[in-house]
Chain A
């Protein structure tokens, strides 16, 4: 396998793909956010409850490529027990890093950095941001 590909499927991604964080179905959760990519059929659900402005009992389930699954797993590794504001900041900083136009100035953690290679593959940046985009949309609706 060539270097460019190894870069894309870094250990972080393979590891999260094979052993996803908080990968459980919880249809009885207070909130269920569904992310669906019509182009490739990837479909994930985020499950969580809100208590005192914090996301708790967060988990995810669904099916998708290694990149979308791993990126959602990374998302879950951050959000459980966090306030909505903290979640919002994490989501924004991940999406900024994945945004082509955005100049990256902040220091990036390894688990975020792993996904930047997706930018150079046709159509794959969307895989990395699928559930993050959907969560951002959910948060913005919640504010209103």
Chain B
């Protein structure tokens, strides 16, 4: 079983802020000692640049840096370290695929398919690529509760579709897309699929091989790792046919004034000095998560979410966006509205009570427009959150509703 009180002890932020109720885990997670100390130790003991020095220290750093690829590969079920590209985050990974993979293959009249619930990061890059090529960006609509209109998905796929890019778990509602079915169907039309796993890797077992997904992206900072590091997984058949997006040092085999040849993937996508300490930190973050059984994590977060929802339902005038049926799988996210209080006022008041939640459109403005909402307040949980915190949160909501009555 997950023991949040025990887990909290490995997060220095809670020792330093004993009153903090951190319910903004969908935005970013807190960092455990192993990550913070690991990065610190690395800088103190092993640091140098990589792939360059001939001295021992450089060799050690390079080896540690490259070893994290294996760790990531195992973590998400990728066949090899060659499939693991270091990026600066989810956003950078999507941009890399949009501009280095899709753009050269896209022609006027083609279509790119996304869902109406995408984070701006999984919308704008495709929009820009489509605009530059005269292609059309199509969106699979959602239902009133934020779930995917599966029937529409089928009818939107056709032989003009050149890419499908979908979020695994919606950061705005917690809705989980049926990615396996979607990938299978897309592949029937020979459409490559990118899955945005920013919200899923921390809690769900990911097996890119079993999913047969073409590209999978996530950010280190949402899985207890540092900021500025992320992962792009790509199938070898795709990565090997992609040109670099950024040019410079660290990606070349041979440079002449007339012509440069590039290294094989993944290195050809990592120009310049990368976020070395970020990679090391991500490695420790994966060690941290690997202590836990993902199914136990899901079980616990489901319990916490259901507990929170059942208490929130006691509050008159509170509406929860999305599915509240506890039989449905859902991410550890509760997006909600108080009928008399704007989400920003909710977040400000909760903030004074040391309860951190997010308010606004959650970088999903088109989804909010479709749902005709100005935004929502969002509580999102992680394994260090406790039922006791939920009680305080719900009590605070009650008093807010009371105050604005």
Chain A residues with a Cβ under 8 A of chain B: 1-2, 4-5, 8-9, 14, 39-43, 63-67, 69, 121-122, 124, 127
Contact = CB atoms under 8 A, between A and B. Distances in A.
Nearest to A124: B348
A41 B372 CA distance: 11
Given A41-B365, A41-B368, A64-B374, A14 B344 contact: no
Nearest to B375: A41
Interface string B318-355: 00000000000000000000000111110011011100
B157 interface: no
B344 A127 contact: yes
A66 B360 contact: no
Contacts of B348: 5, 8, 121, 124
A41 B404 contact: no
A2 to B, nearest CB: 6
Contacts of B360: 39-41
B132 interface: no
Contacts of B353: 2
Given A40-B344, A42-B344, A65-B342, A9 B403 contact: yes
A1 B374 CA distance: 25
A5 to B, nearest CB: 5
Contact of A1 (B344, B365, B399): B399
B109 to A, nearest CB: 33
Contacts of B375: 40-41
B327 to A, nearest CB: 32
B352 A5 contact: yes
Among B342, B351, B365, the most chain A Cβ lie within 10 Å of the Cβ of B342
A122 B348 CA distance: 8
B172 interface: no
Interface residues on B, range: 20 to 34
Contact of A65 (B344, B351, B352, B368): B344
B359 interface: yes
A1 B350 CA distance: 10
13 contacts: A5-B349, A40-B343, A40-B360, A40-B361, A41-B375, A42-B344, A63-B342, A65-B343, A65-B345, A66-B345, A69-B342, A121-B351, A127-B344
B121 to A, nearest CB: 15
Contacts of B344: 40, 42, 64-65, 67, 124, 127
B359 A1 contact: no
Interface string B381-403: 00000000000000000011001
B131 to A, nearest CB: 20
Given A1-B399, A5-B352, A41 B345 contact: no
Contact of B404 (A4, A8, A66, A124): A66
Contacts of B403: 1, 9
Contacts of A8: 348
Given A4-B352, A41-B365, A41-B368, A14 B345 contact: no
Contacts of B342: 63-66, 69
B124 to A, nearest CB: 13
A4 B349 CA distance: 10
A126 to B, nearest CB: 10
A62 to B, nearest CB: 9
B352 A41 contact: no
A65 to B, nearest CB: 4
Among A9, A63, A65, A124, the most chain B Cβ lie within 10 Å of the Cβ of A65
Contacts of A40: 343-344, 359-361, 375
B351 A41 contact: no
B123 to A, nearest CB: 15
A66 B351 contact: no
